[in-house]
Chains A and B, each alone.
Chain A
Amino acid sequence: MDLEFTAAEQAFRQEVHAYIAKSLPAEISAKVHGGKRLGREDYMRWHRTLAKQGWVAPGWPTEFGGPGWTAVQQQIFDEECAAAGAPRILPFGVKMVAPVIMRFGNAAQKQHFLPRILSGEDWWCQGYSEPGAGSDLASLKTKAVRRGDHYIVNGQKTWNTLGQFADWIFVLARTATEGRPQEGISFLLVDMKTPGITVRPIRMLDGEHEINEVWFEDVKVPVANLVGEENKGWTCAKFLLGHERTGIAGVGACKRELKRLKEIARMEPGGGGRPLIEDTRFRDRIAQVEIDLMALEFTNLRVLSAEGEGKRAPGPEASILKVRGTEIQQALSELMMQAVGVYGIPYVPEALDAGWTGEGVGADYAAPLSGHYFNMRKTSIYGGSNEIQKNIVAQLSLGL
């Protein structure tokens, strides 16, 4: 047993750290640290920067342009990015559709799509969920009917993250109705500019526009954009859902938020004219989350090292990491709102725009905190709800 990173890993961390310090634009990291809104260009700028360095897709094999890092190196990279206030690399292209294309796509698809994902030329979004098909994804109804060289797609997807910016969407659509529901699903790549696609915003509980409905009305999709075999899309979907494990726990982001919570608790007034951090009751709660985060961090590292050593592919661990990671993110966001007391009450959405110069309310750092707490409720719902994750552990791991 040795809990220390190797010398090589430490050197790697320093290299990553130095690179990010030099390359991440200050106005972008200020937005991330300050909880301000990020626009399409903020994400893309960082994406392109990392792409030039060859680091935008840490999990990709080298043959497709990945850096060839170990799982532990990827974790170190994630942490350094989060700590520096880098926008997250959106998972839909790099971590979701790309591995599916690598595994199931044909040569033409690999050649066309992978470099564009890497460079950031195409922004991808995920078209899985439907109003009637969430946890029970296989009950999806969006239909794709083959007509000559095209599929004609009709239906509705929903809860589509950042689809308002997307160039492409990967869609699960029903191509057959016989047999088990899982058996008639196909995995399609769809250009968002195709006639018949309508994107409608859904306002979230924090007032922000982050998710959308996507409607398909007689949308013509070339058969060349089918990934894998017709009616075998469920295999792709399952592969995708189980694929990307590094980062699922969100340890890096949690560490950054913990640091922010402590900073706020040092600045906020507590009782008796002393800073809040001196209130033992509140400090105990910070300590509790930090301990929970430590448990998560080392669990995550144990899983990653096992993976690196080529021991069995992790199964239930991914679910465990997702459940605990989201619980900790939620606890952190809750404590931050709590830290600012009554300054969690004002709703001043203008203050979330970087460069806004109006008169703020309370401390600058207070403005995004309530919205952030409300917004973080999503984390236990999306990506396979935490109830579904527990079902997976119960069934696959515990044999119940």
Chain B
Amino acid sequence: MDFNLTPEQGMLQDSLRKFLSKEYGFESRRARAASPEGFSRETWAQLAELGLLGIAIPEDDGGLGGDAFDTMVVMEALGRALVVEPYVSTVVLGGGTLAAAGSASQKEAWLPAIVGGEKLMAFAHGEPRSRYALAHVETTAKRDGTGWKLDGKKAVVRDAPSADAILVSARTAGGAQDEGGISLFLVDAKAKGVSMRGYATQDGGRAAEVSLSGVAVGADSLVGAADGAFPILERTVDRGIAALCAEALGIIDALNEATLEYLKTRQQFGQPIGRFQALQHRMVDMTIRAVETRSMAIVAAAGANHPDQAQRRRMVSAAKAHIGQGARYVGQQAVQLHGGIGVTDELIVSHWFKRLAILNATFGDAEHHLGLFSDRLLGEKA
């Protein structure tokens, strides 16, 4: 066992933290989120220059060939700064999926452009009626000459309004709930028949309801085998969950630091409120959550790297459930211990709190993953 960062990871962490603390103050984050696109292209180019966009992309495809632990280091720092640029959508979900399952020509066309910061992606899988069920796909793709025609609706597609290409899952065989019969397509965001209802998100990001009506795509837009995309989607989502777990870790640590500082400085009844034992114990419980969150973020990353599907899913669900619960506790209590100022938009605390709530609702909340984990127990041998 070795829980240490490699020297390279340590350097990555340092340089990213420095960059963000210099360039990404809360007020500048607010300005980015309020800008027309909801993030800064300039920052994106800087992240490319720092080499961050290629971390999880294989060296052969122009990246750095890192794994989920490298992504964890990045996401932890992005979480703390509440970065709104589309890192997870473009790099972790988009790039990661193409690197793992794309054809040679898809990789060639997209991966270097992602690494270079020239292209943005979005991942459109969930649907209005699917809740968190990964196999629930009602969007259809029908063969159309040599290519396909896509019809359907995708729900809350993060970063879709600025994406150049969208990964779209669609049913090519079977019933709406079947794992078999799902295919994955790489769709040009400007293709005819793609329309979007874009909007801001509760955590300062952007997303869209994406409608596909008779969207014609060529045979070369299929990612992986026809009817066989479910395992690819699972891996993509697991990679995404591991990234979000690390992001939650960065936020939880930041919230705890801010709250601890507040307990030491806020005076009521002639003393710092941190003198009150009720609050001391609360702060300790929050710290326990943070310590365990780090452990579980590591479990999630290890899970995302794991070759065995069952192990991978088990570890990832455990982490998402545990971190979701911890995030809820820490977020709520950080607000509580700040008193009135905690429920204002002015302080970053409420923004961290809201981001944690949205992370919980993404790729299955704590209860959903507790359920997945629990259902697995039935299959265990006595």
Report Cα–Cα, A269/B276, bound state, in Å: 45
Contacts of A344 in B (CB 8 A): 202, 357-358, 361
Contact B354–A374 (Cβ < 8 Å) = yes
Residues of B within 8 A of A247 (CB): none
> Shortest CB–CB separation between residue B268 and chain A, in angstroms?
4
Q: Within 8 Å of chain B (Cβ to Cβ): is A115?
A: no
Indicate if the CB atoms of A338 and B367 lie closer than 8 Å: yes
Q: What is the predominant secondary structure among interface residues of chain B facing chain A?
A: mixed
A317 CB to closest chain B CB (Å) equals 21
Q: Does B342 contact A (CB under 8 A)?
A: yes
> Assuming A203-B346, A342-B156, A361-B197, is B332 touching A377 (CB within 8 A)?
yes
B335 on the interface (CB 8 Å rule)? yes
B129-137, B225-233, B302-310 - interface stretch: B129-137
A377 touches B336 (CB 8 A): yes
Q: Which of A149-206 contact B (CB under 8 A)?
A: 158-159, 202-205
Q: Does A129 contact B (CB under 8 A)?
A: yes
Contact for A135 among B176, B202, B268, CB less than 8 A? B268
Known: A345-B156, A370-B357. A276 touches B346 (CB 8 A): no
Number of interface residues of B (CB under 8 A): 50
Q: Is A378 interfacial (CB 8 A cutoff)?
A: yes
When each residue 359-400 of chain A gets 1 if its CB lies under 8 Å from chain B and 0 otherwise, what string results? 101100000001101110110111001110011000000000
A207 to B8, CA, bound (A): 41
Contact flag A381-B156 (CB < 8 Å), given A272-B133, A374-B354? no
Q: How far is the CA of A362 from the CA of B209 in the complex (A)?
A: 9
Contact A387 B344 (CB under 8 A): no
Say yes or no: is A294 at the interface (Cβ < 8 Å to chain B).
no
Inter-subunit contact B207/A346 (CB<8 Å) = yes
> Would A205 and B354 be within 8 Å (CB), given that A269-B131, A343-B156, A377-B343 are in contact?
yes
Q: Who on chain A is nearest to B155 by CB?
A: A342
Minimum C-beta distance from A132 to chain B (A): 7
Chain A residues touching B, range = 35 or more
Report the bound CA distance from A341 to B360 in whole Å: 9
Check: A21 CB closer than 8 A to any chain B CB: no
- A374 and B126: CB pair below 8 A? no
A387: contacting residue among B176, B207, B279, B342, CB under 8 A: B279
Residue numbers in A under 8 Å from B328 (CB-CB): 334
Residues of B within 8 A of A385 (CB): 336, 339
Question: Which residue of chain B has its CB nearest to the CB of A205?
Answer: B350
Q: Are A374 and B209 in touch, CB under 8 angstroms?
A: no
**Given A202-B344, A345-B201, A377-B342, is A362 in contact with B279 using a C-beta cutoff of 8 Å?**
no
Q: How far is the CA of A236 from the CA of B37 in the complex (A)?
A: 53
Say if the beta carbon of A227 comes within 8 Å of chain B: no
Q: Which residues of B contact A204 (CB under 8 A)?
A: 343-345
Q: How far is the CA of A390 from the CA of B276 in the complex (A)?
A: 12
Chain A residues in 8 Å Cβ range of B361:
337-338, 341-342, 344-345
A323 to chain B, nearest CB (A): 12
| B357, A359: Cβ atoms closer than 8 Å | no
In the complex, whether B325 has a CB less than 8 A from a CB of chain A is: no
Within 8 Å CB of A382, what residues of B? 340
**Inside 8 A of B156's CB, which chain A residues have their CB?**
342-343, 345-346, 361-362
Q: Tell me the bound Cα distance from A390 to B354 in angstroms.
A: 27
A59 to B209, CA, bound (A): 49
Determine whether B287 belongs to the interface, using a CB cutoff of 8 Å to chain A. no
Q: Do B132 and A341 touch (CB < 8 A)? A: yes
A380 to B334 alpha-carbon distance, docked (Å): 12
Q: Determine the distance from Cα of A113 to Cα of B136 in the docked complex, in whole angstroms.
A: 62
A134 B202 Cβ-Cβ under 8 A: no
Residues on B with beta carbons closer than 8 Å to the beta carbon of A387: 276, 278-279
In the complex, how many angstroms separate the beta carbon of B198 from the nearest chain A beta carbon? Answer: 10
User: A217 on the interface (CB 8 Å rule)?
Assistant: no
7 contacts between A and B (CB under 8 A): A158-B340, A269-B128, A269-B130, A344-B358, A345-B203, A375-B343, A386-B336
